[in-house]
Amino acid sequence: MERSILSRRNFLGLSMGAAAGVALAGCGSSGPSSSTGGGGSAGSASYWFLTGAPGEGIRTNTVNRFNQANPDSKITATTFQNDAYKTKIKTAIGAGQAPTVIWGWGGGTLRTYAQAGQVEDLTSWFGENAAVKDRLFPSSFGAATIDGKIYAMPAETVQPIVMFYNKRAFERIGAQPPQTWGDVMDLVPKFNAKGIAPFSLGGQSRWTNMMWLEFLFDRLGGSEVFQAVFDGQKDAWSNPASIQALTLVQDLVKQNGFIKGFSSITADSNADQALLYTGKAAMMLHGTWTYGGMAADGGDFVSSGSLGYMNFPPIDGGKGDVSDTVGNPGQYYSISSKATAEQKETAKKFFKDAVLADAEVKEWIDAGAVPIVKGTESAFGASKDADFLKFVYNTSANAKTFAQSWDQALSPTAAEKLLDNIAQLFQLKISPEKWAENMNGVIGQ
């Protein structure tokens, strides 16, 4: 009797352990089962990147071109879906199974890789290959540089966050796009009276809400406010400008500035874009990467010229430069320090010869994106999206400060805390002061 009770108890305990253990372990292994793992054979390098048009096709073409030109040192590509990749790459690097070429967003995540000694220092390589460095936007190197050393090659496209608007919605209420924050607040009741939501927002994704704070902080207090946080200054979030910005955004929420139910809309499903092109919402603050989606799914919305775009408007009395912008200054390719010497050589050759070569640059432009290569404006004219491309180019090139998105710039720990608190702020569950207090707690982590 005694023994059987004991063993049953053990069994129960063990099965609970199994459930929790599997839950924890299971989380780490989301990804395609075809994954080839790290390493690979001696000369051939592995490369993991994201799925999704148009990037996936362009990245694949670049790899194929490189492989055709270099039959001896091939690159094997494996693709991952965005959210799965974020977990998978961390797990793989942690287990010493990283691919040779690591695709990433730079900033805080790259910092954790660099501090763990998992990625190659490319500073001297860029010194030897100045031509590679000099043809790229200088602003793109900020997020690749950790403590003065370059750990990644900036690549692909520049993606500032801009204010999109639906010209048809503005015609319906007979108003002009806002020139200042005051205009924005004046427009809110006008749109609501016509049954149009002033702003579309995919609030469940949380980083979508963050874009609002990034601009409000900048326009009110200048780029120094976030820089102080980034530099780890004590209580930097309690800056008067940040409290004011947090209050402004809560005012906008209270005045129904955002679409009803915004906190249950995700950006992944593109529902926020759909709200804009169907005319249910008049404006949307979003990254320029949404342009392609709206052109593809929005019927004649983009092709008929109904999509308007502009930089975030200034705020009266604000200290920030109106040309400042925020977003992704580029994407970042790093080389795993665990790769063999041959693999590293292959990867460097790939960076030098294939990444952002003329053929790839052309493909990005055709897809409606601006590659981070200098002097591509002349190629925009031939594109059907010439106006938008010029706008993105000028917004990026003329920006006094091109800040990296906060959640990418900060460490994963601080970023998660930030996103959590932003979600609470938009739910009006915490006050601006409480928000600042919570965030001051993770400064420098």
Partner 1 sequence: MTSLAPPAPRGSTTTSAQGGRSGSVTWLALPAFLMFVAFAIIPLIGVLVLSFTQWDGIGDIHAAGFDSWRSVLRDPGLVHALWVTFLIMALSWAFQTPLSLLIGVYLATQSRFREILAVIYFVPLLLSSAALAITYKALLDPNFGLGAGLGIPLLQQDWLGRDNLALGVLVFVVSWQFIPFHSLIYQSAVRQIPKAMFEASEIDGAGRLRQFFSITLPQLKYTVITSSTLMVVGSLTFFDLIFVLTGGGPGDATRALALDMYKRGFQASLMGPASAIAVILVLVGLGLALLLRRLGGRDTTESQMEGV
Footprint of partner 1 on this chain (CB under 8 A)? Answer: 1, 3-4, 8-9, 12-25, 27-28, 87, 90-91, 93-94, 112-113, 115-118, 203-204, 206, 259-266, 269, 271, 274-275, 280, 411-413, 415-417, 420, 423-424, 427, 429
Give the nearest distance from C-beta 160 to partner 1 in angstroms.
25
Spatial neighbors of 429 by CB under 8 A, at least 6 apart, are none
Cβ-based nearer residue to partner 1, 117 or 299? 117
Cβ-based nearer residue to partner 1, 18 or 69? 18
Spatial neighbors of 328 by CB under 8 A, at least 6 apart, are 105, 158, 159, 287, 404, 405, 408
Over 208-236, what HEC string results? HHHHHHHHHHHHHHCCHHHHHHHCCCCCH
Phi, psi torsion values for 417, nearest 5 degrees: -65, -40
Beginning with the edge strand found earlier in the chain, give each strand of the sheet holding 331-335 in spatial order. 75-80, 45-50, 101-104, 331-335, 153-155
Cβ-based nearer residue to partner 1, 136 or 210? 210
Cβ-based nearer residue to partner 1, 241 or 422? 422
Task: Identify the burial level of 25 via C-beta atoms within 10 angstroms of its C-beta, where 0-12 means exposed, 13-18 middle and 19 or more buried.
Answer: exposed
Give the nearest distance from C-beta 424 to partner 1 in angstroms.
5
Cβ-based nearer residue to partner 1, 146 or 275? 275
**Letter for the amino acid at 309?**
Y
Give the nearest distance from C-beta 5 to partner 1 in angstroms.
8
Give the nearest distance from C-beta 39 to partner 1 in angstroms.
18
Is the Cα dihedral 116, 120, 126, 132 positive or negative?
negative
Nearest to 262 by CA among 210, 200, 211: 200
160: β partners: 327
CA angle 399, 403, 408 (to 5 degrees): 150
Give the nearest distance from C-beta 94 to partner 1 in angstroms.
5
Cβ-based nearer residue to partner 1, 133 or 280? 280
Give the nearest distance from C-beta 386 to partner 1 in angstroms.
32
Cβ-based nearer residue to partner 1, 25 or 131? 25
Contact 428, 250 (CB under 8 A): yes
Cβ-based nearer residue to partner 1, 9 or 194? 9
Token pair listed for 31 = 């990804």
Q: How far apart are CA 279 and CA 322, in angstroms?
A: 28
Q: How far apart are CA 356 and CA 362, in angstroms?
A: 9
Give the nearest distance from C-beta 40 to partner 1 in angstroms.
21
Contact 156, 55 (CB under 8 A): yes
Give the nearest distance from C-beta 296 to partner 1 in angstroms.
18
Token pair listed for 172 = 């319906």
Cβ-based nearer residue to partner 1, 78 or 266? 266
Angle between helices 2-28 and 82-94 (to 10 degrees): 110
Give the nearest distance from C-beta 210 to partner 1 in angstroms.
14
Cβ-based nearer residue to partner 1, 269 or 398? 269
283: β partners: 165, 199
Plot region of 106 (φ>0 → left; ψ -120 to 50 → alpha; else → beta): left
Cβ-based nearer residue to partner 1, 113 or 226? 113
Give the nearest distance from C-beta 252 to partner 1 in angstroms.
16
Give the nearest distance from C-beta 32 to partner 1 in angstroms.
16
